[in-house]
Structure 1
Amino acid sequence: MTHTLRKVLLLVLFSALLAATAVVSVVRASDRVDDREAARPGEPRARSGPMSLKQPGRLLFRNLAWGPGRDMIASVPLTAPTGARTTALQDCLRFHAAAGTGVCLRRAGGVVPRYEALVLDSALRRIRSFDVPGTPTRARVSPSGRLLAWTVFVGGDSYAGGDFSTRTALYDTRSGTYVPSLEDFAVSDGGKRRRAADHNFWGVTFAADDNRFYATLATEGRTHLVEGDLRARELRVLRANVECPSLSPDGTRIAFKKRVAGLPAEAPWRLYVLDLRTGAETALAEQRSVDDQALWYDDRTLLYSLPGDFGGDLWSVPATGGGSPRLLLRSAVSPAVQPS
């Protein structure tokens, strides 16, 4: 072997050794960072593992705990929500599930921000996907798992201001019927047809019959509760100053956020419950402004998110107006309950 060839081989070996050392150092540093991130005081631990949308007695949500499982769908037992959480390999910005069917609104990648709605089966596998024309904000599945709804912002990024536009879509998993926008439905108010260029809809909640639903209509600077008939493709205005309705499991009450006079423009809402039979409204014990579509944990309790140290936390409050708010789960949003 010539002297020159020997020098070349030594140089190659030395370079390879440096590269390997660098890789090991980066991996170890990354592990140390992950360990430190996971050990932050007050932040829950998350570990990937198998998950099912048919497993009873679980609370599902978008995990916001820092680390590899952030933004993934996570699961904890209803009986021990603060315990270790299991995360699936499915990232979502908004999520909901019922009866073994899920809907996931997520970033679709690319240089230009793009989003999609995924229909998920019970094993969280993608069944179908839809491109969505804006930033995800609301998602719901009907109690039977048949109907899905989602809302995106197509202009502006907050319900608090007046300069925004939304698009709400519906999908029937059984028939394959897809409604790209609720703006195609006829709207009636007091028996009269109503149509305006500024109609915006959001916050769908489904009744148990897989036909009737409720949503928010915004027009002329005011919000209204509307009742929808999917087969007839009609919407009927019921009540003013109702946003993000959520129908109770027994179908008799609607939880919603209401604008209250005198509150700051950027934080104007309080949580209420409307009795659909009597029309009576009950103010709930939560005194902070809630910009979320509350979810019925059971017949007596509501779940909702508030800003937290790592993005958002889940809180609960009695639906009767008594009691007090309680922190249920840190670093979590977009809940779905799988009853026992």
Structure 2
Amino acid sequence: MRHRATLLTVVTALLATTAFLAVDRAADRAADRERPHTGQPAIQRGELDLRRPGRLVFRSLAWGPQRDRLATVPLTAPGGPRTAAPRDCLRFHAAAGTGICLRKKSGVIPGHEAVLLDARGRAVRHFPVPGIPTRARVSPSGRLVAWTVFVSGDSYAGGAFSTRTAVYDTRTGTLHDTLEDFTVLVNGRRHQAVDHNFWGVTFAADDNTYYATLGTGGRTYLVRGDLARRSLTTVRENAECPSLSPDGTRIAFKKRIRPQGADAPWRLYVLDLRSGRETPLAERASVDDQALWLDGRTLLYALPGDFGADLWSVPANGGGHPRKEVASAVSPAVTGPVSASAPAGTAASRGSTAR
């Protein structure tokens, strides 16, 4: 009996020690998540103001408890400390105090949703979406919002994917839940096909004209849309993820320069809508993103990084060099009016440096 009692005491002590070590290690892991990792930006908690001028808003990918939250930095110091708001998004964009957030939806049946945000980042309306978020845009006035999701597949590179793109009018409450219902003209002729896929909407200032990508028959087209007429017309072939410049005269896009499945298949270009001239940009890495006009002279886009992605900038005239602007970030938007010139302190005004 004494031996059994001694054995029971030893076993109990071992179990208690094991439990203590497990709890201690768990606490260390939790504390590690709270601490910023080496090279990660300092983050403080705060509120979101989509009308405050001179700010860059994005989904923060910095490791820790604020990962995937919307964060802001001054345009004059994009690489500095960031302020994170209590709003999780996978894809995001904003303009004129209106935001659109594509996020995971919790519940008994998990999924995704598009959330319309007011200037303070508060949810105004929720829309269920039938797939994985990939693109989001708001018109310059804040009236129109668009989003794209993958209905099947998870990469453009695979060649077999399906998208669904919706446009919502915040003023009238009209939801166009898929652009596939619109009339499509390819080279001036009406085109009907079961494989129509649209993605990457960008809006003009008139809240009627927009541009997007059409994929059909193994080809991609830049298309110009007329929301009132519910129509889309091809502009040119091999142009994806368009982004209209602040003055409405140029479109940044990614152009496929290598076959599907090849490494580095895309390169950033800028199209002059008046002359039809294409200008390749100085960024030589493959950019699988819908670039953002940081101002009238500079583009911002995501490239793969240590914690998911980083934001880089490059001049829109084909000169200069790429420059990393924000580490551990994706899906950016500029608050306040977007200037046709570069604000003091931004990449364009500082002058880019080589990677």
Superposition TM-score, scaled by structure 1 size: 0.90
Q: What do the CA deviations read for 1:45-65 (whole angstroms, capped 9, x no partner)? A: 222112211111100000000
Amino acid at match of 2:293: W
Mapped pair 1:76 → 2:73: yes
Alignment CA distance shift 1:191-1:263 (3 Å) = closer
Deviation per residue, 1:137-192 (Å, 9 max, x gap): 00000000000000000011111221100000000000000001000100112331
- Per-residue CA deviations over 1:61-104 (Å, capped at 9, x if unaligned) read 00000111100100001111111111111100000000000000
Distance in 1, Cα, partners of 2:235 & 2:158: 23
Matches of 1:210 and 1:313 in 2, distance apart?
A: 31
Q: Which residue of 2 aligns with 1:33?
A: 32
- How far apart in 2 are the matches of 1:171 and 1:48? 31
Whole-Å Cα distance in 2 between the matches of residues 189 and 138 of structure 1? 23
Amino acid of the structure 2 residue aligned with 1:146 = R
Partner Cα distance (1:268, 1:84) in 2: 34
Cα displacement (A) at 1:123: 0.6
Alignment of structure 1 residues 292-311 onto 2, 5 Å: 292-311=289-308
Secondary structure at 1:56's aligned position in 2? coil
Would you say 1:226 and 2:223 are equivalent positions? yes
Query: d(CA) in 2 for partners of 1:129 and 1:269?
Result: 34
User: More deviation in 177-186 or 78-87?
Assistant: 78-87
SS at match of 1:102: strand
Residues 1:261 and 1:28: Cα distance change in structure 2 (over 3 Å): closer
SS in 1 for 2:158: coil
Residues 260-339 of structure 1: matches in 2 within 5 Å? Answer: 260-261=257-258, 265-339=262-336
Quote the offset at 1:339 in angstroms: 4.0
**Which AA in structure 2 matches 1:51?**
L
1:217 to 214, 217, 221: 214
For the structure 1 residues 25 and 157, does the alpha-carbon distance in structure 2 shift closer, same or farther, using more than 3 Å as the test?
same
Read off the aligned partner of 2:28 and give its amino acid letter. A
Contact 2:50 2:336 in 1 (8 A): no
After TM superposition, the structure 1 = structure 2 runs for residues 76-225 of structure 1, keeping only pairs within 5 Å, are 76-110=73-107, 112-225=109-222
Contact 1:49 1:88 survives alignment (8 Å) = yes
Q: How many Å separate the matches in 1 of 2:329 and 2:134?
A: 15
Structure 1 CA distance, aligned partners of 2:178 and 2:98? 21
Q: CA deviation at 1:267?
A: 2.9
| Within-5 A mapping of 1:24-63 | 29=28, 32-36=31-35, 38=36, 40-63=37-60
Structure 2, unpaired ranges of 5+: 1-16, 338-355
Match of 1:145, SS?
Answer: coil
Counterpart-to-counterpart distance in 2, 1:26 and 1:291: 39
Q: CA deviation at 1:261?
A: 3.4
Relative to 1, partners in 2 of residues 1:223 and 1:77: Cα closer, same or farther, differing over 3 Å?
same
**Secondary structure, aligned partner of 1:312:** strand
Structure 1 stretches of 5 or more lacking a match? Answer: 1-17
Q: For 1:262 and 1:100, how far apart are their aligned partners in 2?
A: 40
Question: How many Å apart are 1:30 and its aligned residue?
Answer: 5.3
Distance 1:121 1:97 in 2: 10
- 1:26–1:49 distance in 2 versus 1, CA, 3 Å: farther
Q: Which letter does structure 1 place at the counterpart of 2:267? A: R
Match of 2:237 in 1: 240
Give the drift of 1:293: 0.2
Task: State the number of aligned residues.
Answer: 321
More displaced, 112-121 or 283-292?
112-121
Displacement of 1:265 after TM fit?
A: 2.1
Question: 1:270-309 CA deviation, whole Å, 9 max, x = no partner?
Answer: 0000000000000000000000000000000000000000
Further displaced range: 150-159 or 264-273: 264-273
Judge conservation of contact 2:209–2:225 (CA < 8 Å) in 1.
Answer: yes
Asked if the contact 1:160/1:267 (under 8 Å) is kept, the reply is: no
Deviations 1:314-339 (A, max 9, x none): 00000000000000000000000124
| CA distance in 1 between partners of 2:259 and 2:239 (Å) | 17
Q: How far apart, CA to CA, are the structure 1 residues paired with 2:186 and 2:203? A: 21
Identical aligned residues as a percent: 65
The TM-score normalised by the length of structure 2 is 0.86
> 1: distance between equivalents of 2:179 and 2:134?
16
Does structure 1 retain, via aligned residues, the 8 Å contact 2:159–2:260? no
CA distance in 1, matches of 2:244, 2:117: 23
Distance 1:262-1:194 versus aligned 2 partners, 3 A rule? closer
8 Å Cα contact 1:167/1:201 also seen in 2? yes
